[in-house]
């Protein structure tokens, strides 16, 4: 039985009231949780990891420890991979998703992360790390609604949530345009735009639950006839949009919103 995966849109509440981080600690075992923190996406990984260490302890985890990892050499370290594997949950911080993927791709650490997931461990990522959970990952793009075929850059991600193309800071940074373009180019994937302090809790059965204070935008190519979005004049057709709030659920396979 694989574990839960939590993808968060960034800027999550870190106070005692935090719905999202508390939910992660709970999924990782609550008072017994041993949380490994991976800050490889960040250009200041030690500082970033230390701040989450303090947060998770404050939220009641038994342990929270950084897995120091600033380059590919460290990501290949069996010792660090074993440390990660000894946790009951892994939290990946924000930063830059391309940096995170370039450090983790093909590494012992990534292997250990997938193994932990398969053993039922909880995995969470915020901001850049949430994007990196995609198999086809949004590596960059413009803001706003101005749509062009090059409005979004897609690269290979970590593939923890391969059916989803995840974007974050979604309303706050006006990312509807680039997510529409991403889904037009990858119509087999479901686009998921996460607002700040908002996330999706992916249950092992494929059901996805919205948590947090903002919205989750779910963007689906309604049919196989979706245009690839590279034509000129540029067009996007056959896209459906749902906007969901805390407590609502949808399924990644059926691509339909379900009421809470």
Catalytic residue positions? 127, 169, 196
CB of 225 to its own copies, least distance (A): 10
Considering the rule CB under 8 A, would residue 150 count as an interface residue with its own copies?
no
> In sequence order, what DSSP letters do the residues of 132-171 get, joined into one string?
HTSSEEEEEE--SS---TTSEEEEE---SSTTEEEE-STT
**Judged by CB under 8 A, does residue 233 bind its own copies?**
yes
Q: Label residues 144-160 b or e (16+ Cβ within 10 Å = b).
A: eeebeeebbebeebbbb
Q: Which span (77-85, 89-97, 111-119, 143-151) binds its own copies, by CB under 8 A? A: 143-151
Q: Is 217 in the site for its own copies (CB under 8 A)?
A: yes
Beta carbons of 3 and 193 less than 8 angstroms apart: no
Three-class DSSP category at 82: helix
Closest CA to 49 of 6, 5, 93: 93
62 vs 243 by CB, closer to its own copies: 243
- With CB under 8 A as the contact rule, the residue among 26, 50, 234, 255 that binds its own copies is 234
Q: Is 146 in the site for its own copies (CB under 8 A)?
A: yes
Kindly calculate the radius of gyration of the chain based on its CA atoms and give it in whole angstroms.
17
| Residue 137 C-beta: closest distance to its own copies, Å | 21
Give me the helices (H) in 39-122, please.
Answer: 45-58, 72-75, 78-85, 97-104, 108-118
Nearer to its own copies, 113 or 236 (CB): 236
Q: Annotate 193-220 with b (16+ C-beta within 10 A) or e (fewer).
A: bbbbbbbbbbbeeeebbbbbebbbbbbb
Nearer Cβ to its own copies, position 53 or 196? Answer: 196
User: Which residues between 153 and 182 bind its own copies (CB under 8 A)?
Assistant: 170-171, 174, 176-177, 180
Question: Judged by CB under 8 A, does residue 21 bind its own copies?
Answer: no
Of 245, 249, 251, 255, the residue at the interface with its own copies (CB under 8 A) is 245
Q: Assess 251 for contact with its own copies (CB under 8 A).
A: no
- Based on the shown chain and the rule CB under 8 A, indicate whether residue 243 belongs to the binding site for its own copies: yes
Binding site for its own copies (CB under 8 A): 144-147, 170-171, 174, 176-177, 180, 215, 217, 222, 233-248, 257
């Amino acid at each position: 039985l694989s574990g839960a995966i939590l993808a968060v849109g960034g800027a999550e509440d870190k106070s005692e009231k935090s719905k999202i981080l508390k939910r992660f600690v709970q999924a990782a075992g609550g008072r017994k949780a041993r949380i490994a923190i991976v800050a490889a996406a960040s250009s200041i990984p030690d500082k970033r990891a230390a701040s989450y260490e303090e947060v998770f302890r404050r939220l009641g985890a038994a342990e929270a420890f950084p897995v120091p990892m600033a380059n590919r050499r460290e990501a290949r370290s069996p010792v660090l991979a074993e440390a990660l594997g000894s946790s009951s949950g892994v939290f990946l911080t924000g930063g830059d998703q391309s940096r995170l993927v370039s450090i983790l791709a093909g590494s012992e650490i990534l292997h250990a992360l997938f193994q932990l997931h398969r053993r039922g461990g909880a995995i969470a990522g915020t901001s850049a790390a949430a994007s990196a959970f995609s198999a086809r990952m949004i590596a960059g793009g413009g803001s706003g609604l101005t749509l062009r075929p090059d409005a979004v850059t897609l690269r290979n991600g970590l593939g923890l949530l391969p059916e989803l193309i995840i974007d974050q800071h979604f309303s706050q940074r006006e990312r509807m345009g680039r997510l529409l373009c991403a889904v037009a180019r990858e119509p087999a994937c479901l686009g998921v735009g996460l607002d700040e302090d908002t996330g999706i809790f992916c249950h092992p059965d494929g059901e996805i639950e919205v948590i947090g204070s903002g919205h989750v935008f779910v963007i689906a190519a309604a049919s196989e006839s979706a245009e690839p979005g590279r034509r000129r004049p540029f067009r996007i057709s056959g896209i459906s949009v749902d906007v969901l709030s805390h407590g609502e659920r949808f399924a990644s396979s059926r691509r339909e919103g379900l009421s809470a």
